[in-house]
Structure 1
């Protein structure tokens, strides 16, 4: 059950990052990143936009 919640959150963040033109971080595709890495990248994008 927790795993499903994590995967759902990851998919949500990946969708948000893709819509902002982010497809990779360094040489890794977004789906290869951990939830924490995705959240950090999303926070960075929000910071840049504001």
Structure 2
């Protein structure tokens, strides 16, 4: 019973995070129909994309290092 509750809590957490990012469904399948694994994979993809965008910023990292040398 506790495992079921933990899985449901995690599913709800991931669904809410994805909805907050504007993801409601994919290939006409709503988030609540996805498996926990599918939700986790989509959340990881989203997190990596957001991290990449944050890392690139306004200046490429190589330019920042170059400026620091001169």
TM-score range, shorter chain: over 0.9
Normalized against structure 2, the TM-score is what? 0.69
- Look up the match of 1:43: 44
Give TM-score, length-normalised by structure 1.
Answer: 0.94
CA distance in structure 1 between the partners assigned to 2:30 and 2:14 by the alignment: 13
- Name the Cα RMSD after superposition: 0.6
Match of 2:35 in 1: 34
Aligned residues, how many?
Answer: 50
Superposed CA offset, 1:8-42 (max 9, x none): 00000000000000000211100000000000000
Structure 2 residue runs of 5 or longer lacking an equivalent are 52-70
Runs of 4 or more, structure 1, over 2 Å off, are none
Q: What is the match of residue 4 of structure 1? A: 5
